[in-house]
Amino acid sequence: MCLHHKITRRRALATVIAAVGTALVQARAAHAAGPYEGPLVDAHSHLKAASGPSPDELIGLYDGAGVRGAVLFGEPWPVASDARDRYPRRIVPFLAEGYANALHPDSSYVNPAGLDQLLAANVVRGLGEVILRHSPYRLGAVGGYASAPANNVPADHPSLVAGYRQAAVWGAPVNVHQEWFYADELERALQAAPETTFVWAHAGHGPASVVGPLLRRNPNLLADLSARTPWIGPGTVLLRPNGALEPAWASTLTDLADRFVIGLDLFAPAHFRADYVNQMVAYYRGLLGQLAPDVAVMIGHGNAERIAPFAEA
């Protein structure tokens, strides 16, 4: 090997080391800057008639944690719409069918005429969380050991596409749970209903290398960052053990700042406790604090309020 090649490689290595060092310094500086202290909107939360707090209790938890309000997935829908009627400036109601009921004959998702009535009357403002491809799960003690088997519904099922398109007529967003392994199905659904605003729950639990390109190719898609914490999705956490935001995610969130929202994903009875809600909020404030202030504002509340605004009165 000639000396020129040795010098070139040494210089290249030195450049890489310097770049890595700079990135680490910047990450540490951002992390040291402290958590984001601006408004927060929980863009992914559940309220169920069979198990869960009252609207007053939920708002009390949000008050204690400094959360402005929520996009609420009501199961059945009157749970969320009643909460909105009581707190119109803090709750945006969505319609959520049961975990395994997306294609049930009685599901509103597959009955466009009935869905049209609900949306036209402003009873609900969106659909979701629509459970499609969902891996089996079992939570630990923090989640009260809640569990469910796998659910396998393709995002591009023709009966669901009709519902997506009906939602677009009323400007109603659709939050879908589709694991990233089936991103091709999701993309076909996005392209089959191009006027519909979709929110990809948990960003599909996928890596930034998959999530970013999918969002770039499909302007009608946003993603929420719920269930990406050590307490719910330990394999998909966006922060390193030292609390620093993963560089790939920092870049993706910055480049696509208008396409992400956050969510606490409160759904198990054990989640509706002050210590748990406060812990979740602290996690997301720490994450947002490592982004530029304008990016943190958009992801922390601006994007959610843009696609699913609270009532003005």
Q: The domain 33-307 is classified under which CATH number: 3.40.50.2300, 2.60.40.1180, 3.20.20.140, 3.60.15.10?
A: 3.20.20.140
> What pLDDT does 103 receive?
97
Average pLDDT over residues 281-298: 98
Whether 7 shows a pLDDT value over 50: the answer reads: no
Peptide bond just before 129 cis, omega within 30 deg: yes
Average pLDDT over residues 218-243: 93
How far, in Å, CA of 242 to CA of 244, rounded?
6
> What pLDDT does 13 receive?
35
Q: How many CB atoms lie within 10 A of CB 150?
A: 11
Lowest mean pLDDT among 19-33, 60-74, 114-128, 146-160: 19-33
Name every residue whose Cβ is closer than 8 Å to that of residue 193 and which is 6 or more positions away in sequence.
Answer: 161, 164, 165, 168, 220
> What pLDDT does 9 receive?
38
Helix (H) or strand (E) holding 221: strand 221-224
Whether 40 shows a pLDDT value over 70: the answer reads: yes
Lowest mean pLDDT among 11-15, 212-216, 251-255, 281-285: 11-15
Kindly report the CA angle at 275 between 273 and 276, in degrees rounded to 5? 70
Whether 215 shows a pLDDT value over 80: the answer reads: yes
Contact in structure between 92 and 261 (CB atoms under 8 Å): no
Please, what is the average pLDDT of the chain? Answer: 89
pLDDT tens-place string over residues 121-147? 999 999 999 999 998 667 777 777 677
Lowest mean pLDDT among 66-70, 119-123, 134-138, 306-310: 134-138
Domains of the chain by residue range? 33-307
Average pLDDT over residues 222-250: 93
Lowest mean pLDDT among 131-140, 156-165, 175-184, 283-292: 131-140
Burial 62-81 (b: 16+ CB within 10 A, else e): beebebbbbbbbbbebebbb
Whether 266 shows a pLDDT value over 90: the answer reads: yes
Average pLDDT over residues 164-184: 97
141 CA to centre of own chain: 23
Contact in structure between 272 and 54 (CB atoms under 8 Å): no
> What pLDDT does 137 receive?
67
Whether 111 shows a pLDDT value over 50: the answer reads: yes
Residue type, 234: P
Q: How far apart are the first and last CA of the chain?
A: 75
Sheet containing 221-224: give its strands across: 41-48, 69-75, 91-95, 126-131, 174-177, 198-200, 221-224, 260-261
Whether 23 shows a pLDDT value over 80: the answer reads: no
How far, in Å, CA of 281 to CA of 39, rounded?
11
pLDDT tens-place string over residues 77-88? 999 999 999 999
Name every residue whose Cβ is closer than 8 Å to that of residue 21 and which is 6 or more positions away in sequence.
Answer: none
pTM: 0.88
